[in-house]
Chains A and B, each alone.
Chain A
Amino acid sequence: MGEFPGMNVNAAAGASTAKPWVGQSIPRVEDPALLSGRGRFIDDIGVRPGTLHAAILRSPHAHATIVAIDTAAAKQARGVAAVLTGEDIKALTASLVVGVKAPVECWPIAVGRVRYAGEPVAMVVAESRYLAEDAIDLIDAQYEALPAVIDPVRAMDPGAALLHNGFPRNTASDRSFKYGDPEPIFADAKRTIAITIRYPRNSCTPIETYGVIAEYDPGEQAYDVLANFQGPFSIHAVLSRALKVPGNRLRLRTPPDSGGSFGVKQGVFPYIVLMAAAARATGRPVKWIEDRLEHLTASVSATNRVTTLRAAVADDGKVLALDWDQVEDCGAHLRAPEPATLYRMHGNLTGAYDIRHVAVRNRVVVTNKTPTGLNRGFGGPQVYFALERLMQRIAVELKRDPVEIISRNLVPADAFPYRTATGALLDSGNYQQALARAVSEGGLEALNARRDQARAEGRIYGIGFTAVVEPSVSNMGYITTVLTAAERRKAGPKNGAQATATITIDPLGGVSVQVASVPQGQGHRTVLAQVVADVLGLTPADIRVNAELDTAKDAWSIASGNYASRFAPAVAGTAKIAAERLAGRLARAAAAGLNTESDDIAFAGGFVFSKRNPDNKSPFSRIAALSHWSPGALPEGIGQTIRETAFWTPPELTPPDDQDHVNSSLCYGFIFDFCGVEIDRVTLQPRIDHYVTMHDCGTILHPAMVDGQVRGGYAQAIGAALYEEYAYAPDGSFLSGTFADYLLPTVAEVPEPLILHMQTPSPFTPLGSKGVGEGNCMSTPVCIANAVADALGVADIELPLLPARLAEAVRGAEMAAPSGTKAPETRHGDRRLSGEGSAKVAASPQQVWAMLLDPTTLAAVIPGCHSVKKLSHTDFTAIVTIGIGPVKGRYRARIVLSDLDKPAGVTLAGNVDGALGFGSGKGRITLAPETDGVTAVHYRYDAEIGGKIASIGGRLLDGAARLIIGQVFAGLARQAGGDTPAKGGVIASALSKLRSLFGGGR
Chain B
Amino acid sequence: MTRMAAEQRHRIRFTLNGEAVDRACEPRMLLTDFLRHEIGATGTHVGCEHGVCGACTVNVDGRPARACLTLTLQVEGSEVRTVESLADRQGRLGLLQSAFRRHHALQCGFCTPGILMSLDALFARRANADEAEIRDVLTGHLCRCTGYAPIVRAALEAAAELRGETNREAVDA
CA distance A704 to B113 in the complex (A): 21
A27 contacts B142, C-beta separation under 8 Å: no
The answer to the question of B158 belonging to the interface, with a C-beta cut-off of 8 Å to chain A, is no
Q: Given A31-B100, A130-B28, decide whether A41 and B149 contact each other with a Cβ distance below 8 A.
A: no
Q: A999: nearest residue on chain B (CB-CB)?
A: B51
The answer, among B100, B107, B139, B144, for a CB contact under 8 Å with A35, is B100
Grouping DSSP codes into helix (H, G, I), strand (E, B) and loop, the B interface class, with mixed when no group exceeds half, is loop
User: Interface-forming stretch among B72-80, B85-93, B122-130, B159-167?
Assistant: B85-93
A708 contacts B145, C-beta separation under 8 Å: yes
A259 contacts B51, C-beta separation under 8 Å: no
The answer to the question of A215 belonging to the interface, with a C-beta cut-off of 8 Å to chain B, is no
Q: Given A260-B110, A747-B135, decide whether A738 and B44 contact each other with a Cβ distance below 8 A.
A: no
- How far is the CB of B22 from the nearest CB of chain A, in Å? 22
- How far is the CB of B7 from the nearest CB of chain A, in Å? 9
CA distance A34 to B55 in the complex (A): 13
Q: Provide 28 A-B residue pairs closer than 8 Å at the C-beta atoms, listed in order of the A residue.
A: A35-B106, A35-B116, A37-B82, A41-B45, A206-B144, A207-B47, A207-B48, A207-B111, A208-B47, A257-B108, A259-B110, A260-B145, A292-B53, A708-B146, A711-B147, A712-B146, A713-B147, A715-B146, A715-B147, A715-B148, A739-B48, A739-B50, A739-B142, A746-B138, A747-B151, A750-B147, A750-B149, A886-B50
- Note all chain B residues with C-beta closer than 8 A to A739: 48, 50, 52-53, 142
Residues of A195-210 whose CB lies within 8 A of B: 204-209
Give per-residue flags for B97-111: 1 if the beta carbon is below 8 A from chain A beta carbons, else 0: 110111010111111
Among A34, A711, A740, the one with the most B-chain Cβ atoms within 10 Å of its Cβ is: A34
The answer, among B41, B45, B172, for a CB contact under 8 Å with A259, is B45
- Note all chain A residues with C-beta closer than 8 A to B148: 711, 715, 746-747, 750
Q: Given A747-B135, A886-B49, decide whether A35 and B101 contact each other with a Cβ distance below 8 A.
A: yes
- Note all chain B residues with C-beta closer than 8 A to A746: 138-142, 148
The answer to the question of B143 belonging to the interface, with a C-beta cut-off of 8 Å to chain A, is yes
Q: B43: nearest residue on chain A (CB-CB)?
A: A37
CA distance A181 to B9 in the complex (A): 76
Residues of A545-560 whose CB lies within 8 A of B: none
The answer, among A6, A43, A205, A738, for a CB contact under 8 Å with B144, is A205
The answer to the question of A595 belonging to the interface, with a C-beta cut-off of 8 Å to chain B, is no
- How far is the CB of A283 from the nearest CB of chain B, in Å? 23
- Note all chain B residues with C-beta closer than 8 A to A626: none
CA distance A206 to B135 in the complex (A): 22
A35 contacts B93, C-beta separation under 8 Å: yes
Among B47, B82, B113, B116, the one with the most A-chain Cβ atoms within 10 Å of its Cβ is: B47
- Note all chain B residues with C-beta closer than 8 A to A39: 42-43, 109-110
B→A interface (CB under 8 Å): 26, 28-29, 36, 41-53, 55, 69, 82-84, 86-87, 91, 93, 97-98, 100-102, 104, 106-113, 116, 135, 138-152, 172
A38 contacts B43, C-beta separation under 8 Å: yes
Task: Kindly state the interface size class of chain A when it binds its partner.
Answer: 35 or more
B110 contacts A744, C-beta separation under 8 Å: no
Instruction: Identify 11 new A-B residue pairs, CB closer than 8 A, beyond the known A521-B108, A716-B144.
Output: A34-B108, A38-B43, A38-B84, A39-B42, A39-B43, A39-B110, A41-B110, A206-B144, A208-B108, A521-B107, A886-B50
The answer, among B44, B49, B53, B93, for a CB contact under 8 Å with A32, is B93
The answer, among B50, B106, B140, B145, for a CB contact under 8 Å with A31, is B106
Q: A710: nearest residue on chain B (CB-CB)?
A: B147
The answer to the question of A855 belonging to the interface, with a C-beta cut-off of 8 Å to chain B, is no
- Note all chain A residues with C-beta closer than 8 A to B86: 35-37
CA distance A117 to B6 in the complex (A): 32
CA distance A207 to B145 in the complex (A): 9
Q: B116: nearest residue on chain A (CB-CB)?
A: A35
- Note all chain A residues with C-beta closer than 8 A to B100: 31, 35
A37 contacts B84, C-beta separation under 8 Å: yes
CA distance A810 to B101 in the complex (A): 46
- How far is the CB of A226 from the nearest CB of chain B, in Å? 15
CA distance A126 to B60 in the complex (A): 32
Give per-residue flags for A280-306: 1 if the beta carbon is below 8 A from chain B beta carbons, else 0: 000000000001100000000000000
A204 contacts B144, C-beta separation under 8 Å: yes
The answer to the question of A25 belonging to the interface, with a C-beta cut-off of 8 Å to chain B, is yes
- How far is the CB of B86 from the nearest CB of chain A, in Å? 6
A207 contacts B49, C-beta separation under 8 Å: no
A291 contacts B49, C-beta separation under 8 Å: yes
B109 contacts A36, C-beta separation under 8 Å: no
Among A130, A259, A291, the one with the most B-chain Cβ atoms within 10 Å of its Cβ is: A259
Q: Given A37-B83, A716-B144, A746-B138, decide whether A711 and B91 contact each other with a Cβ distance below 8 A.
A: no
- How far is the CB of B23 from the nearest CB of chain A, in Å? 16
CA distance A713 to B145 in the complex (A): 8
Residues of A722-774 whose CB lies within 8 A of B: 738-740, 744, 746-748, 750, 752
- Note all chain A residues with C-beta closer than 8 A to B82: 37
- Note all chain B residues with C-beta closer than 8 A to A397: none
- Note all chain A residues with C-beta closer than 8 A to B91: 32, 36
CA distance A5 to B101 in the complex (A): 11
- How far is the CB of A700 from the nearest CB of chain B, in Å? 14
The answer, among B50, B84, B101, B104, for a CB contact under 8 Å with A885, is B50
Q: Given A259-B109, A705-B104, A747-B152, decide whether A36 and B93 contact each other with a Cβ distance below 8 A.
A: yes
